[in-house]
Amino acid sequence: MGNSLNCSTALRAGSARCFCEGWRRCRLHTPPRPWSEASKLAADACDAGLHVSSVDLLIAALCIQHDVALTTFDAHFGELGKLSKLRVNLLIRPA
């Protein structure tokens, strides 16, 4: 509990990153209009027959904006990567 409180306090104070329970968290600058990229991704996904949540579209848009690869277990991000500049490292769950 103490670590979480310290992390929350650090984030409110504007710290660029903090450590909580052994996991590294970082904050990326949010561009002024991330939803415009997410909206374009949504249209492209819809045209391709994909149904992607708005949160996942925003995550993808932010990764594209910051030119960072997304590492995930969610295969639909790989499909979004085929439709956009999103770079995806798809993880496979062990059997």
pLDDT in tens, the chain (95 residues): 333 344 444 444 444 444 444 455 566 666 566 888 999 999 999 999 999 999 999 999 989 988 999 999 999 999 999 999 999 999 998 88
Q: What's the pLDDT at 28? A: 64
Q: What's the pLDDT at 32? A: 64
Pick from 55, 51, 53: nearest CA to 63:
55
- Across 60-75, b (16+ Cβ under 10 Å) vs e yields bbbbbbeeeebebeee
Is pTM beyond 0.75? Reply is no
